[in-house]
Amino acid sequence: MSERRVILDVDTGHDDAVAIMIAASAPELTLEAITVTAGNQTLDKTLSNTLNLCDALGIEAPVFAGMTKPLMRDLVPAARIHGESGLDGPVFQPRKKIAEKEHAAVALARMVTEAPPNSLTLIAVGPLTNVAMAIRLEPTVATKLRELIIMGGSIGRGNVTPSSEFNIHADPEAAAIVFSSGAPITMVGLDVTTKITLDEARLASLSSIGGPAAEIFSKSMGNYMAACRHYLGEYPAMHDPSCVAYAIEPKLMTLREYHVEVEYSGTFTLGRTVVDTAGVTKKAPNARVGVDADETIFWPLLARALGHWSRG
């Protein structure tokens, strides 16, 4: 099987960090670039977290800084869950890695434009601000991608409001641009990511793999678990890592084709992904939506990623 060329768009973030680890170490993937947006924390923090992680693990993919704010709204970071730094837990040494000079949205537009059609997969695991900007800069970004895998939305429950998931709620206008762009979207929403949750026993067993990645994982997931238990009453879902694991092994998820609209003016439903599961609108599907996940496929891929850095 040929390697899959991927770009990761992140707002690093505890689970974003794990997504980067899996993407950077998978032999099935080539991580071409990491683009960073504001989301879980302000851009300076999400960028710093991304660069620190890459530096600590020797991840050489270029890192591009992107949007500091959602398109139309103020940023509301997820400090409750990810902490003041956005990646509370691990402590990093002073770093050498620096961000590229080009803006992330411009870089995304350039990289997709330069690549042969259907050769690049974009995995977006933060608010969709950079992606929407790239599509506005160069509309063919949407149609040239092999796949746009989005961590965001939900058919059912929300996690930031009863109705809405964080990434879509953070920048609903950007999400509306992306979902109506014609891109080959795979939506990895809460319906699937909440089926892959980390408990104490799994955290202990993955931490015991050893090496720098497992150490960062252990410290950041310890914080993430405590926050999710405290504020959500749930074990932490492997939201962003699931998207990368799916790119490696599509059997991870069961998908259905649906038409999805993003609510950007609702009073109680702002940021909801309205998924037409019954075909009421008769509109053609614009996304393949994850409806189920097989966690037995996920955990070995995560263990393999952590083990990549434990071999000395």
Exactly one of 9, 16, 165, 171 binds Ca ion (CB under 5 A); that residue is 16
Task: For tokens 């319906």, name the residue.
Answer: 191
Interaction between residue 127 and Ca ion (CB under 5 A): no
192 binds ligand BDR (CB under 6 A): no
Instruction: Please indicate whether residue 199 is annotated as part of the active site.
Output: no
Binds 166: which of Ca ion, ligand BDR, none (CB < 5-8 Å by kind): ligand BDR
Shortest spacing between CB 59 and Ca ion, in angstroms: 17
Distance from C-alpha of 227 to C-alpha of 82, rounded to nearest angstrom? 8
User: What is d(CA 132, CA 142) in angstroms, rounded to the nearest whole number?
Assistant: 9
Largest CA distance in the chain: 56
Closest distance between Ca ion and the C-beta of residue 251, in Å?
A: 23
Q: Which residue has the tokens 């614009």?
A: 286
Nearer residue to ligand BDR within complex by CB, 81 or 175 = 81
129: contact with ligand BDR by CB under 6 A = no
d(CA 306, CA 67): 30
Considering only residues 2 to 41 of the shown chain, the ones binding ligand BDR according to CB under 6 A are 13, 15-16, 40
Q: Which is nearer to Ca ion, 196 or 209 (CB)?
A: 196
Among the listed residues 6, 43, 78, 104, the single contact to ligand BDR using CB under 6 A: 78
Q: Which is nearer to Ca ion, 71 or 151 (CB)?
A: 151
Is residue 125 part of the contact set for Ca ion (CB under 5 A)?
yes
- Give CA–CA dist 169/152, Å, rounded: 9
- Total H helices, total E strands in the chain: 13, 10
88 binds ligand BDR (CB under 6 A): no
CA dist 10 and 16 (Å) reads 6
Q: How far is the CB of 195 from Ca ion (least distance, A)?
A: 18
Applying CB under 6 A, does 147 fall inside the site for ligand BDR? no
| Contact (Cβ atoms closer than 8 angstroms) between residue 166 and residue 237 | no
Q: Hey, which residues does 6 pair with through a beta bridge? A: 31, 121
191 binds ligand BDR (CB under 6 A): no
CA separation for the pair 123, 4 (Å, rounded): 12
Contact 220, 17 (CB under 8 A): yes
Catalytic residue (choose from 9, 11, 171, 240): 11
For position 167 contacting ligand BDR by CB under 6 A, the verdict is yes
In whole angstroms, the minimum distance from the beta carbon of 169 to ligand BDR comes to 9
**Are 75 and 86 within 8 A, CB to CB?**
no
Which residues touch 68 (CB under 8 Å, ≥6 apart)? 38, 42, 43, 75
Among 57, 240, 242, 274, binds ligand BDR (CB under 6 A): 240
Beta-strand relationship, 287-293 and 185-188: parallel
Residues assigned a catalytic role: 11
Q: Can you give the binding site for ligand BDR, defined by CB under 6 A?
A: 13, 15-16, 40, 78, 81, 125-126, 151, 159, 165-167, 239-240
